[in-house]
């Protein structure tokens, strides 16, 4: 059913289709009867899927291990709808202190032959103040409707902020969103903001993370803080990240963001060249992402939790990541290609492979 709808949707520009589809779903979910029907059809609803993760700065208790990566709901507009589709957790953002338009359009491209996307969105978002207001309203809705959706806040810097002052942008976002999200992810790994990936170098990264941990440590109930890393890091750079994460007691890593590599694509080179710069996501990223996850887990003896992201389209893909040593996975491109039933299908596959899966 969705494959037919996808063929129609893929006739139109990706960014336009994204907002059209989500706004249509939003309209349906505003009607109580339809929202309940959507939840009943799409939510996995099996207690065996529950996951509890004790992190350095708190416990995350999730209804299932399948989350939605940052960049899909940049402005926290669709949390009710994504909860209805069954996601165990949703990462909003990337959020910056000031609103920004992002890069020029077109900036999102499909590579159907590779089951991939290329994006150069550029942290387009409504700014932390407006997003904080939406999250505040979400918390009221969540309390009134007993929603168990976990929400993460993915934070970044404005394009015009110099790298030497970048830590200030992260502090602004961390402080403004603190009361409204369940965990934070520091994004220094997007390839679409000039110079951002330079912040992955150990000294620059230390300044950002230590500044956030200092604020976090004096809170009555600190929030888990994770770092999202690029798949294009060298082994030495990954080792630096691991050493720093363990030193400052970071709660974990998200592995990985999109890649600037175009190796191994089936899509003709002239099409890829015409698309130009941007981060590649989807199936071509799957192996590299899994390799990095496995390396981190083995290097740390499993003492640094990882959320796995990259090329997850079905239960087999999720199990590949879980077998590498993670408890949580994120989808994004797979959601576009597989449709709204992806969470339930992955969870069904997980239960089929592990019928005695425990929620402990």
pLDDT for 281? 98
Tokens (6 digits) for 25: 């779903």
> pLDDT 10s digit of each residue in the chain, 360 long?
899 999 999 999 999 999 999 999 999 999 989 999 999 999 998 999 999 999 999 999 999 999 999 999 999 999 999 999 999 999 999 999 999 999 999 999 999 999 999 999 999 999 999 999 999 999 999 999 999 999 999 999 999 999 999 999 999 999 999 999 999 999 999 999 999 999 999 999 999 999 999 999 999 999 999 999 999 999 999 999 999 999 999 999 999 999 999 999 999 999 999 999 999 999 999 999 999 999 999 999 999 999 999 999 999 999 999 999 999 999 999 999 999 999 999 999 999 987 655 443
Q: Count the neighbouring beta carbons within 10 Å of the beta carbon of residue 288.
A: 18
What is the helix (H) or strand (E) element at residue 81, kind and residue range? helix 79-84
The one catalytic residue among 63, 190, 281, 309 = 190
pLDDT for 356? 58
Tokens (6 digits) for 56: 């350095």
Largest CA distance in the chain: 55
Q: Are strands 58-62 and 51-55 parallel, antiparallel or unpaired?
A: antiparallel
- Domain-wise residue ranges, the chain: 2-353
pLDDT for 1? 81
Pick the CATH number of 2-353 from 3.20.20.70, 1.10.2020.10, 3.30.70.1340, 3.30.930.10: 3.20.20.70
Per-residue DSSP letters for 261-287? --TT--S-HHHHHHH-SSEEEEGGGHH
| Residue 273 a catalytic site member | no
Instruction: Tell me how far the alpha carbon of residue 220 is from its chain's centroid.
Output: 26
End-to-end CA distance of the chain: 36
What is the helix (H) or strand (E) element at residue 309, kind and residue range? strand 306-309
89 touches 69 (CB < 8 A):
no
CB burial string 30-48: b at 16+ within 10 A, e below:
eeeeebeebeeebbbebee
pLDDT for 163? 97
Report if pTM > 0.75: yes
- The residue behind tokens 């291990």 is 65
pLDDT for 159? 97
Q: How many DSSP H helices and E strands does the chain contain?
A: 13, 13
142 touches 52 (CB < 8 A):
no
- Give, as one character, the DSSP assignment of residue 104: P
CB burial string 56-78: b at 16+ within 10 A, e below:
bbbebebbbbbbbbbbbbbbbbb
Q: For the CA atoms of 338, 340, 345, 348, what is the dihedral angle to 10 degrees?
A: 170
CA distances from 89 to 117, 176, 203, 343, 356 (A): 22, 20, 31, 11, 22
Tokens (6 digits) for 63: 């209804």
Q: Count the neighbouring beta carbons within 10 Å of the beta carbon of residue 160.
A: 8
């Amino acid at each position: 059913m969705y494959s037919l709808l996808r063929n129609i949707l893929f006739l139109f520009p990706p960014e336009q289709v994204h907002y059209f589809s989500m706004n249509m779903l939003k309209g349906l979910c505003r009607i109580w009867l339809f929202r309940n029907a959507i939840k009943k059809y799409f939510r996995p609803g099996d207690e065996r899927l529950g996951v509890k993760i004790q992190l350095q700065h708190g416990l995350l208790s999730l209804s299932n291990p399948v989350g939605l990566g940052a960049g899909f709901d940049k402005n926290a507009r669709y949390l009710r709808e994504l909860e209805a589709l069954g996601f165990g957790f949703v990462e909003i953002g990337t959020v910056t202190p000031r609103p920004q338009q992002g890069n020029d359009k077109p900036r999102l491209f499909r590579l159907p032959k590779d089951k991939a996307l290329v994006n150069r969105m550029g942290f387009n978002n409504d700014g932390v103040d407006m997003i904080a207001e939406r999250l505040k309203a979400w918390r009221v809705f969540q309390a009134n409707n007993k929603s168990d959706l976990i929400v993460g806040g993915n934070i970044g810097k404005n394009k015009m902020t110099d790298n030497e002052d970048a830590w200030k942008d992260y502090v602004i976002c961390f402080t403004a969103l603190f009361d409204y999200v369940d965990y934070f992810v520091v994004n220094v790994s997007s390839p679409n903001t000039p110079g951002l990936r330079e912040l992955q170098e150990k000294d620059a990264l230390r300044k950002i993370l230590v500044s956030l941990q200092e604020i976090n440590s004096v809170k009555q109930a600190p929030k888990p803080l994770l770092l999202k890393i690029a798949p294009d890091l060298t082994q030495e750079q990954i080792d630096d990240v691991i050493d720093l994460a363990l030193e400052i007691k970071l709660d974990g890593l998200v592995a990985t963001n999109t890649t600037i590599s175009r190796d191994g694509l089936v899509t003709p080179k002239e099409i890829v060249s015409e698309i130009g710069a941007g981060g590649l996501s989807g199936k071509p990223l799957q192996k590299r992402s899994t390799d990095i996850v496995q390396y981190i887990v083995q290097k740390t003896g499993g003492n640094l939790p990882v959320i796995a992201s990259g090329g997850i389209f079905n239960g087999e893909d999720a199990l590949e990541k879980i077998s590498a040593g993670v408890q949580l996975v994120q989808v994004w491109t797979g959601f576009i290609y597989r449709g709204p039933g992806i969470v339930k299908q992955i969870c069904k596959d997980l239960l089929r492979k592990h019928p005695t899966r425990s929620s402990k």
